[in-house]
Structure 1
Amino acid sequence: MGAIVGASHFQPVDDKTDFSFYGTFWTKPAFGLGQGNTGDDLWTEFGVGVNFNLMDGKLKVKPQIGITNGSLLGGGARARSATVGGKFLDGVVPSLTVNYSDDKTEAEYYGGYYLAARNREGDAALDFVHTWVNVGYKASPNVSFGPHYELLSNTRNTYVGGRPSKTYEWLGGYVQFALPKGFFARFTAGADLDKDNAGDFYMMSVGMSF
């Protein structure tokens, strides 16, 4: 995965519950899908959910549902078995994010299931489970760092001759810089633990909560 740029918003409903929505722009050159200059390797995700504030706001539990747009899950617009463009509502994504943060530590768990919504019974549909967990130390209110583990596994594959398989399994670390108004930039890097997917990983995330 090359880069992730996202933003999330929380609108208070009551003292313990917020309405949330998010948007994410993905680039995915690591998948090597070979669409050339069509732009199909660009992927957007948008979703809504509810954020539950627990333990005086230190623990946040956020179930969400999103949609993706592009060509990764449903194969996109196709001609003669080749991808020639992306599609709206390429996939549906139910997910759960759990965050913990106090004066010195932070932690995050994410689990999402990416289901093809277009061309689901065609010859180019993919489903994925995506999960990560990280734990960090806050060196200051603006700088934190810690280990990061992430897994992306293909659970359904309708390509001719295709089969479900692990896409990547990452282990590394992150450093994050944050500003008081909710803006953050995080750089994560490390090694791919799957011997069939040789090479390091690196990922930049930029976001804002407001």
Structure 2
Amino acid sequence: MTAISAPVAAQQKRDSSYTVTLNQDSFFGFNPSFSGLIPVNDTTDFSFYGTFWTKPAFGLGQGNSGDDLWTEFGIGANFNLDGGKLKVKPQIGITNGSLLSGGALVRGTSAGARFLDGIVPSLTVNYADDKLEGEFYGGYYAALSQRNGNASLDFLHTWVNIGYKASSNVSFGPHYEILSNTRNTYPGGRASKTYEWLGGYVQFALPKGFFARFTAGADLDKDNAGDFYKMSVGMSF
């Protein structure tokens, strides 16, 4: 959650910040994440982030000590515009595991997790003023290995939401999100839409940086049954 902007003079002295978030939703499961910003000049920060994907289906599930769980890490820059109300953050990340570059098929099963499983260019845009807040995210998850093999995948993940701040502690608004499998080289595989969510969110924020957000609604993809829901709790300090 982006805080209300401070005066320009205060922004020039802004400190490094770190955010830890616990996330869970009806598709990705439980996925804790972290992000950090380190100021490099009056308007620009160096950024870094990571996600601990814990859904077993994203790994090989062979019972190894680490279970080959998908792990994402990235760096980038954060540009503070319009007096800090608008924040534009391009980043580049890597994934490690077996989801995007599954390796050769052995008796119909992917074999071998990989360092540099995939690459993730992304763009996050946040806006916040006294009454409105909004976020856009777009990330492309592209396989780095096996691109012409028989077990690799690419995904496009995008969401956008805009909210009204009823008070300094409560905000709410609509949320739209889509995940598409844009390339699939598995035998018999094809590009397809994984889900398309439309719903709303409510968020509670406290002065010391704690926030909690719940989002829910309908899956518009006719091939999917049921609704969607997602919850995030975290703290920035």
Residue in structure 2 matched with residue 162 of structure 1 by the alignment: 189
Alpha-carbon offset, residue 113 of structure 1: 0.6
Residue in structure 1 matched with residue 218 of structure 2 by the alignment: 191
Q: Unaligned regions of 5+ residues in structure 1, if any?
A: none
Aligned partner of 1:120: which letter? Answer: R
Aligned partner of 1:177: which letter? Answer: F
2:137 pairs with one of 98, 107, 110: 110
Partner secondary structure for residue 53 of structure 2? strand
Aligned partner of 1:10: which letter? Answer: L
Change (3 A) 1:179 1:192: same
| Distance across 1 between alignment mates of 2:147 and 2:209 | 38
Partner secondary structure for residue 151 of structure 2? coil
**1:143, 1:176 within 8 Å by CA — same for their partners in 2?**
yes
| Distance across 2 between alignment mates of 1:111 and 1:53 | 19
Aligned partner of 1:194: which letter? Answer: D
Change (3 A) 1:143 1:26: farther
Residue in structure 1 matched with residue 17 of structure 2 by the alignment: none
Alpha-carbon offset, residue 124 of structure 1: 1.3
Residue in structure 1 matched with residue 83 of structure 2 by the alignment: 56
1:123 pairs with one of 140, 143, 150: 150
**1:8, 1:208 within 8 Å by CA — same for their partners in 2?**
no
What do residues 46-87 of structure 1 show as CA deviations (whole Å, max 9, x unaligned)?
111100000100000000000112221112686433135533
Partner secondary structure for residue 56 of structure 1? helix
Higher strand share: 1
Q: How many residues align?
A: 208
| Distance across 2 between alignment mates of 1:77 and 1:209 | 42
| Distance across 2 between alignment mates of 1:6 and 1:179 | 20
**1:3, 1:204 within 8 Å by CA — same for their partners in 2?**
no
2:174 pairs with one of 147, 150, 154: 147
**1:8, 1:207 within 8 Å by CA — same for their partners in 2?**
no
Change (3 A) 1:209 1:68: farther
Change (3 A) 1:59 1:23: same
Q: Unaligned regions of 5+ residues in structure 2, if any?
A: 1-27
| Distance across 2 between alignment mates of 1:56 and 1:34 | 43
Greater shift in the superposed pair: 200-209 or 187-196: 200-209
RMSD (Å) for aligned C-alpha atoms:
2.4
Give the TM-score normalised by the residue count of structure 2: 0.78
Alpha-carbon offset, residue 140 of structure 1: 2.5
**2:51, 2:72 within 8 Å by CA — same for their partners in 1?**
yes
**2:105, 2:151 within 8 Å by CA — same for their partners in 1?**
no
**1:19, 1:49 within 8 Å by CA — same for their partners in 2?**
yes
Change (3 A) 1:41 1:145: farther
Partner secondary structure for residue 222 of structure 2? coil
Alpha-carbon offset, residue 135 of structure 1: 0.6
Aligned partner of 1:112: which letter? Answer: G
Q: After the TM superposition, which residues 1-210 of structure 1 pair with which residues of structure 2 at under 5 Å, given as runs?
A: 1-28=28-55, 38=63, 42-75=69-102, 79-83=106-110, 86-210=113-237
Identity %: 77
**2:104, 2:151 within 8 Å by CA — same for their partners in 1?**
no
